[in-house]
């Protein structure tokens, strides 16, 4: 387990929580959200039975991550909308961009409020939790800690073999498990897991992009300025379908290449070899 990764991650996260800028730019928001996700995954993997203080910390970080995620969503959706070329529905596109800007400002204000209220306490708890994690990795409990993290890898990989059929209702929740598994494997720092981690990232991004276009459709339908069929919305749905097909293809390729179960006696299933190798490296 790479202690430097934990120390660096916590240090940067504490810095981001020190004070939110009045107008948080996309880079700040993305960094805050990503590092919050990584820390939650680290803590869950290394301390699956979190103490009461850790549970409080996780709840607080989840609140910050959620608020940062809502701002980040508006940044991403604005970027997607700006690429559209809808000459016949220019007014609808303008209204959509204005609505995204309004929502972004509203969510940024909520994010600043959360950081202002919870930031000081979360920074202290992060520092305390990081020290305990580093101490745990340095002393004799390191082997047990790594075994717990390896067990988490095996559990997540098993979860990713389900559901049997991916669809629009379960694809986004599936992405959350992909993200967590990727973070835990990155923490292990095993070069041999590079291909596996890379494909997990491709699946995460593909599903995320499809979900973004779905969110954009929902907002566009709310703000369209005329009755009947809107060509802007129709164009968005066409793009979303393409992204959905790509996301399903990427997820199924991942499951076939890295997560395919081997049939065992008594109908028992074992993880695919790449997953076993990654978990074994963590537990070694």
Q: What is the pLDDT of residues 131-190, one digit of tens each?
A: 887 776 666 555 666 677 777 788 888 889 889 899 999 999 999 999 988 888 887 666
The better pLDDT of the pair 23, 284 is held by 23
Q: How is residue 247 annotated by DSSP?
A: H
CA-closest candidate to residue 184, choices 171, 198, 197: 197
**C-alpha 225, offset from chain centre:** 34
Burial of 169 (0-12, 13-18, 19+ CB in 10 A): exposed
Is residue 197 within 8 Å of residue 186, measured between CB atoms?
yes
Q: How is residue 198 annotated by DSSP?
A: H
pLDDT tens digits for 5-21?
Answer: 778 888 899 999 998 88
Is residue 14 within 8 Å of residue 104, measured between CB atoms?
no
Contacts of 236 (CB under 8 A, 6+ apart): 84, 213, 216, 217, 220
Mean pLDDT in residue range 24-29 = 94
């Amino acid at each position: 387990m790479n202690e430097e990764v934990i120390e660096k991650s916590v240090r940067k996260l504490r810095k981001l929580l020190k004070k939110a800028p009045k107008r948080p730019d996309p880079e700040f928001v993305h960094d805050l959200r990503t590092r919050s996700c990584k820390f939650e995954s680290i803590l869950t993997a290394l301390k699956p039975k979190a103490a009461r203080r850790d549970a409080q910390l996780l709840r607080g970080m989840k609140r910050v991550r959620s608020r940062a995620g809502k701002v980040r969503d508006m940044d991403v959706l604005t970027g997607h909308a700006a690429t559209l070329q809808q000459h016949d529905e220019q007014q609808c596109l303008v209204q959509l961009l204005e609505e995204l800007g309004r929502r972004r400002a509203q969510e940024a204000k909520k994010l600043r409020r959360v950081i202002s209220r919870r930031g000081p306490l979360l920074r202290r708890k992060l520092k305390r939790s990081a020290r305990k994690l580093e101490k745990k990795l340095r002393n004799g409990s390191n082997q047990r800690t790594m075994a717990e993290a390896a067990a988490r890898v095996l559990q997540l990989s098993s979860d990713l073999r389900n559901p049997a059929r991916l669809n629009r209702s379960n694809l986004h929740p599936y992405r959350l498990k992909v993200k967590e598994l990727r973070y835990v494997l990155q923490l292990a720092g095993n070069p041999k897991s590079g291909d596996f981690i890379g494909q997990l990232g491709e699946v995460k991004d593909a599903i995320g992009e499809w979900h973004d276009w779905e969110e954009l459709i929902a907002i566009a339908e709310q703000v369209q300025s005329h009755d009947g069929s809107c060509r802007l919305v129709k164009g968005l749905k066409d793009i979303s379908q393409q992204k959905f097909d790509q996301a399903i293809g990427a997820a199924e390729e991942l499951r076939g290449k890295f997560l395919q179960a081997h049939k065992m006696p008594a109908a028992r299933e074992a993880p695919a070899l790449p997953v076993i190798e990654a978990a074994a490296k963590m537990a070694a």
